[in-house]
Homo-oligomer: A and B are copies of this chain.
Amino acid sequence: MDKYDQIKLENQICFPLYALSREIIKLYKPILDKYNLTYTQYITMLVIWEKEKIGFKDLGRLLHLDSGTLTPVLKKLEAMELIHKYRSKEDDRIVIVEVTEKGNSLKEDILHVPEEIYCKLNIETEKLFTLKKQLDEILTQISE
């Protein structure tokens, strides 16, 4: 037992999380390229598709992204005419994001993406499910 063991890369818990996250995003790349979406833009659209209309703040909270990241992402999605933004009538500070018709049309094309990723991952559904459960649990705990 070496006192330096604890700072070996192989003994870091966060590292495989960091590395795997980036590796999987790389798997998404060729698929999302067809729709001119980055991974961040893609997950942002997932939430907007599901909610149809959502406040900027709530969107950031769900995605764990702060305004400095989210603002340019939404600007890009708006330029692509997938969403539009407007300020709340009741409270002018609040920005609301809504999916456009063009955005909803893209939703139909995107439907097959998760399936393609699962094929590329090639891991038992059961394994993925238990892994996701563990990650969600830790994520909830940390985000408090």
Question: Contact residues of A with B, CB < 8 Å?
Answer: 3-4, 6-9, 11-25, 27-28, 39, 43, 46-47, 49-50, 62-64, 107, 110-111, 113-115, 117, 121-123, 127-128, 131-132, 134-136, 138-139, 141-143
Contact = CB atoms under 8 A, between A and B. Distances in A.
Nearest to A114: B6
A137 to B, nearest CB: 9
A130 to B, nearest CB: 8
B24 A142 contact: yes
Nearest to A62: B9
Q: Majority SS of interface residues in chain A?
A: helix
A128 B19 contact: no
Given A18-B25, A19-B64, A25-B14, A9 B46 contact: yes
A109 to B, nearest CB: 11
A92 to B, nearest CB: 28
